[in-house]
C-alpha cells in the first residue's frame, strides 16, 4: 500500500533521488546525454523520424532553452532514444510508443497537424492536459501496489533525467564537484548559490 508521499518518493527514486542514507549509494553516477554536433542528423535506433520530432518538441517544452540551454540542446532526444533502445523494459517502451502515437492523433484531431508542427502555445496547451491526466492518475493510484505508468510522466522523467545528468546540466546549470575535498556541513545557501547536481 502506498500513499501520496510514497508515490513522490518512488518517482524521485526512479531518477536516482536519495531518500535515505543507505540508499544514497545508488544515486551517485550519471548519464550520457551529449550535445548534438552542429549539422549532425542523429541516427536514431528506437525512434521513428516522426516520433523523434514529437519527442524533440516535448523535450523543448518540458525543459526549454531560456537564458540557459534546454533539454534538446544538451542532447536529450538521442539520449532518450538510447534509453529506450537499450535500457527500458518492453512494457515501458510500449507505453511511450503508444503515447507518442496518441499525441499525434490528438494533435491531428485538434489542429489537423502533427504535434511537432504546432505552435509552442498549442503544444503547451495539449501537454497541460496530459500533465493533468498523469497527475490525476497518480492520485488515483494511491493505495495500489504497482500502478501502471503514464506516458507523459515517463516523458517528463526521461527529459529531466537527460538534462540534469548531462555535463552541462550538472556542471553549468547546477554545480558539481568531482573531488569536493572538504565536507562543510552547514553553509549559508547564499554562499553556494545553486543546487548541487549530486
Partner 1 sequence: MTDLASKSREERTFDAIVVGSGISGGWAAKELCEKGLKTLVLERGPQVKHGTDYKTFGHNPWDFRFPGGRVPQEEIDRHYPKQSRTGYTINDAWKHWFVKDDEHPYTEVSRFDWMRGYQVGGRSITWGRQSYRHSPMDFEANAREGVGVDWPIRYEDLAPWYDHVESWIGVSGREEGLAHLPDGKFQPPMAFNVVETTLKEKVEARFPERRITIGRTAHLTKPTDEQVKLGRGQCQNRNLCMRGCAFGAYFSSNGSTLIAADHTGNMTLQPDAVVTEIIFDPETSRATGVRVLDAETGDRVEVYAKVIFLCASTLNSAWIMMHSVSDRFPNGFGNDSGQLGRNIMDHHFLVGAQAEVEGFEDRYYSGRRPNGIYIPRFRNLGDDETKKDFLRGYGYQGGASREGWQRLVAELGFGAGMKEKLQDPGAWTIGITGFGEMLPYEDNTISLNHEVRDIHGLPTLTMDVTIRDNELAMRKDMQEAGVEMLEAAGFQNVRGYERPYAPGLGIHEMGAARMGRDPNTSVLNGWCQVHASPNVYVTDGSAMTSASCVNPSLTYMALTARAADHAVTQLKRGEL
Restricted to residues 170-189, the positions that interact with partner 1 (CB under 8 A) are 170, 173-174, 176-189
Interacting residues with partner 1 between 54 and 73 (CB under 8 A): 61-64, 66, 68, 70
Torsional sign, CA 10, 159, 57, 45? negative
How many Å is the Cα radius of gyration of the chain? Answer: 18
Set of cell numbers at residue 195: 543546487
- To partner 1, the closest distance from the beta carbon of 101 in angstroms equals 21
Q: What does 31-100 look like in DSSP terms, one character per residue?
A: ----PPPTT-----SSS-HHHHHHHHHHHHHHS--SSS--TTTTTHHHHHHHHHHHTS-HHHHHHHHHHH
Q: Is 94 among the residues that bind partner 1 (CB under 8 A)?
A: no
If the CB atoms of residues 56 and 166 are measured against partner 1, the closer one turns out to be 166
Number of residues that bind partner 1 (CB under 8 A): 81
CA dihedral 35, 41, 46, 47 (to 10 degrees): 100
Contact region with partner 1 (CB under 8 A), list: 48-56, 98-106, 110-118, 153-161: 153-161
Q: Is 165 among the residues that bind partner 1 (CB under 8 A)?
A: yes
Q: Is 20 among the residues that bind partner 1 (CB under 8 A)?
A: yes
The 8-class DSSP code of residue 146 comes to: S
Set of cell numbers at residue 103: 499525441
Of residues 38, 40, 43, 89, which one binds partner 1 by CB under 8 A?
A: 89
- To partner 1, the closest distance from the beta carbon of 117 in angstroms equals 20
Of residues 26, 129, 143, 148, which one binds partner 1 by CB under 8 A?
A: 26
Interacting residues with partner 1 between 101 and 130 (CB under 8 A): 124, 127
Set of cell numbers at residue 131: 500533465
Of residues 117, 131, 137, 142, which one binds partner 1 by CB under 8 A?
A: 131
Amino acid at each position: 500500500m502506498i500513499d501520496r508521499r510514497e508515490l513522490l518518493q518512488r518517482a524521485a527514486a526512479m531518477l536516482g533521488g536519495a531518500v535515505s542514507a543507505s540508499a544514497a549509494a545508488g544515486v551517485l553516477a550519471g548519464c550520457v546525454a551529449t550535445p548534438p554536433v552542429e549539422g549532425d542528423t542523429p541516427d536514431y535506433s528506437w525512434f521513428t523520424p516522426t516520433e523523434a520530432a514529437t519527442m524533440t518538441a516535448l523535450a523543448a517544452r518540458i525543459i526549454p532553452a531560456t537564458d540557459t540551454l534546454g533539454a534538446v540542446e544538451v542532447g536529450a532526444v538521442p539520449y532518450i532514444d538510447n534509453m529506450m533502445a537499450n535500457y527500458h523494459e518492453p512494457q515501458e517502451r510500449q507505453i511511450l510508443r503508444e503515447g507518442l502515437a496518441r499525441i499525434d492523433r490528438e494533435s491531428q484531431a485538434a489542429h489537423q497537424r502533427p504535434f511537432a508542427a504546432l505552435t509552442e502555445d498549442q503544444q503547451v496547451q495539449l501537454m497541460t492536459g496530459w500533465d493533468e491526466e498523469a497527475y490525476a492518475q497518480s492520485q488515483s493510484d494511491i493505495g495500489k501496489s504497482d500502478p501502471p505508468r503514464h506516458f507523459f510522466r515517463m516523458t517528463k522523467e526521461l527529459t529531466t533525467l537527460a538534462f540534469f545528468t548531462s555535463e552541462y546540466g550538472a556542471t553549468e546549470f547546477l554545480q558539481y564537484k568531482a573531488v569536493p575535498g572538504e565536507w562543510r556541513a552547514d553553509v549559508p545557501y547564499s554562499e553556494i548559490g545553486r543546487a548541487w547536481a549530486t
